[in-house]
Structure 1
C-alpha cells in the first residue's frame, strides 16, 4: 500500500483517538465541579474544551517522549503499520471502558498498545527498555503522589477551617472550583493531547517524511482541535462515576482534589513525562476522601478502578499484537 495512504490512515486514527480521549477524559477535569454544582455540565464542558485547546498548544515535550522513548521510529521496518495497530488497540479499549463508565487510562492504553505492536513486529529488541521503563515509572508513581498530595491538602483544610461554618466554607470553595476546573482542564491539555501529537510524529519519522521528533505546527493544531472537540461532547457516564460514586464530594473536597491533581499533571508536563490524567485525578479524589473520612470512600468501587488500571497495558498490548498480525496478512 502507498506510504502516503498509510500515513493518512494513521493521522485519521490518531485524531480519532485524540477525539475519543477528549470525551473519555472530559470527566477527569470537570467531574468534581459538576458534582458540587459549582458549574453546570454545559458551562463546565465549554470551559474544559477551551482550556484543553490552549494547554495542548503550549507544550511539546511529552510528544517527543512518546515519539521516541518506547521505540526508535527511524529503525522500524513497518513503523507506520505498527502505529496503526497501536491506535486501533487503544481506541477499542477506550470505547469499551467508556461504554461501561470505567475511568481507565488513555495513556496506559496507548503506551501498552504501542509496545505490543512493536514487540509483534520487531520482538523485544525493538523496545527502548530505558525509555519505556521511565514512562511506566511515571505512570505508576504519579497516582501515588497525587493521592498523597490530595490527602495532605485536605488534611490542612480540615485543620484551618475546623471551627468554621461548613455552609460558608463550601460557598466560597464552590466559586474557587470554577478556577480550579479551568486549571485542571488546561493541564489535561498540556499532557494528554501531546500523546496524539507524539504518535503522529512517530509515524511521520517512521515513514521517512521527516527526520526529527519535532512536532509540526499542523500536527499541534489538529491534535489540539480534536481533543477540544472530543471534550465538547463530554462523558457523562464517567463524570457520574468520579463525581458521585467514589464518595460524596463537597466543594472544599473538589477544590482540594482539583488543585492537587492539576499540580501533579503540570509538573509532569514540565519534565516531559506522560502521565495518566485519569489515574492522577482519581487518586487525588481518593486521597481527599481519605482525609475527609476514610470510611466515606467506597473502596470496593475504587478497587475495581485500580484493577482496570492494572490490566489496561497488557490487554491493549495483546490487542495491538493481534491487530498488527492481521494487518500484515492484508498489507
Structure 2
C-alpha cells in the first residue's frame, strides 16, 4: 500500500506542476500581450522554454522546504497528508482558473497540507511538528509581504522611468518599452521556474524521505526533470481566462507601466530564489506590480470591484484549501 500511495503522490505532484504552469502562464504574458510587445503564440513558447530552464537551474528552495517541513509523519500517514494537500491545491487551482482569478499555487498547497496535517491529528494520527517557526518566518511571511513590496516598488519605479524618457517621442518610447517587456517576460518566466518549479520537487522529495527512499540531502535528477517538464508543458496550454483578467479587466496599462511591472516582479523572484532563498508567489508579485504601476497615473485606471474580488480570492485561498485538505485526508484515512 505504501508504494501505491507513493506513486499517487508522484502522479498528483505532476498534475500540480502541470496545473501550476497552465494557471500561472498568465502572469508572464499578460502585460506583454496586452501592450502588443509579443504575440500570444510567441509569448507562450517563450514562457515554456524559460520555465523549463528555471526549474532545472536550482533546487535550493525545494531542499529548504523539505528541511523546514521535516515534521511530516513518515510512512502512510505522511503520504496521505501530501495526497490530500495536493488534491486540495489542485481543486482550488481549477476553480480559480474557471473563474478567471489569479491565485497563488503556493498558498493553496501550504493551506492544503496544513489542513490535512490538522485532520491527521484529529484522527489520533501523527501530526506535523517541529517546523512552525521556520514555516512562519521563511515561508509564510515572505509570501504575505511580497504583494505589498511589489505594489510599492512598481508604483515608485514609474517616476524615474517617466523622468528618464520625458524628452523622447511617444512612438520611440513605446517601441523601446515593448522590447524591454519581451526581455522581462522571459526573465519573469525564468524566475517563475526557479520559484514554482521547486514546489513540486519539494513535495516529491518529502514523499521519498517519508518512505525511506531518500535522506533529503540532495534532489534526485529525475524529480527535477519531471517537475520542470510538466511545468513547461502546462505553460504551453496557457490559461487565457486569467490573462484576460490581468490584461483587460483589472487595470489599463501602457507599455512603460507594463515594462515597469514586469521588471519589478522579475527582480523580486530572482532575489527571492537566489539571494534570499525565500519562496515568493509569482501570482501575487506580478498582480500587485501591475496594480502598482497602473495606479501611478493621473486618472484612476484600476477597476476596484475586480480588485476586491481578487483580494477576496487571495484571502480565501489558505482557509478554503485547508478545509479541503482536511476533508480529503478524512476521506483517505481508512486506507492509511
- Whether the TM-score (by the shorter chain) exceeds 0.5 is yes
Flag the 1:221–1:293 CA change in 2: closer, same or farther, 3 A.
Answer: farther
> Which residue pairs with 1:248 in the alignment?
252
> Which residue pairs with 1:98 in the alignment?
97
Deviates more, 1:272-281 or 1:66-75: 66-75
> Which residue pairs with 2:305 in the alignment?
300
Per-residue displacement from partner, 1:157-197 (whole Å, max 9, x unpaired)? Answer: 12222343322211111112111111111001000010000
Unaligned 5+ segments in structure 2 are none
**1:191 maps to 2:195:** yes
**1:220 maps to 2:234:** no
> Structure 1 CA distance, aligned partners of 2:333 and 2:72?
18
> Structure 2 CA distance, aligned partners of 1:327 and 1:317?
15
Over the aligned positions, Cα root-mean-square deviation in angstroms equals 1.6
**1:178 maps to 2:178:** no
> Which residue pairs with 1:239 in the alignment?
243
> Structure 2 CA distance, aligned partners of 1:87 and 1:58?
24
> Structure 2 CA distance, aligned partners of 1:49 and 1:174?
20
Q: SS at the partner of 1:212?
A: coil
Unaligned 5+ segments in structure 1 are none
Q: SS at the partner of 1:295?
A: coil
Contact kept in structure 2, 1:154 and 1:292, CA below 8 Å: no
**1:151 maps to 2:155:** yes
TM-score (norm 2): 0.94
Per-residue displacement from partner, 1:112-141 (whole Å, max 9, x unpaired)? Answer: 111111121136962421122121101111
Contact kept in structure 2, 1:45 and 1:232, CA below 8 Å: yes
Match of 2:280 among 265, 271, 275: 275
> Which residue pairs with 2:334 in the alignment?
329
Match of 2:212 among 202, 208, 213: 208
> Which residue pairs with 1:44 in the alignment?
43
**1:130 maps to 2:133:** yes
**1:20 maps to 2:39:** no
> Structure 2 CA distance, aligned partners of 1:291 and 1:167?
21
> Which residue pairs with 2:10 in the alignment?
11
> Which residue pairs with 1:31 in the alignment?
30
Q: SS at the partner of 2:300?
A: helix
> Structure 2 CA distance, aligned partners of 1:85 and 1:237?
27
TM-score (norm 1): 0.96
Q: How many residues align?
A: 330
Flag the 1:55–1:293 CA change in 2: closer, same or farther, 3 A.
Answer: farther
Flag the 1:294–1:262 CA change in 2: closer, same or farther, 3 A.
Answer: farther
Contact kept in structure 1, 2:184 and 2:259, CA below 8 Å: yes
Per-residue displacement from partner, 1:33-72 (whole Å, max 9, x unpaired)? Answer: 1111111111000000000000000111211233232452
> Structure 2 CA distance, aligned partners of 1:65 and 1:313?
21
> Structure 2 CA distance, aligned partners of 1:130 and 1:294?
43
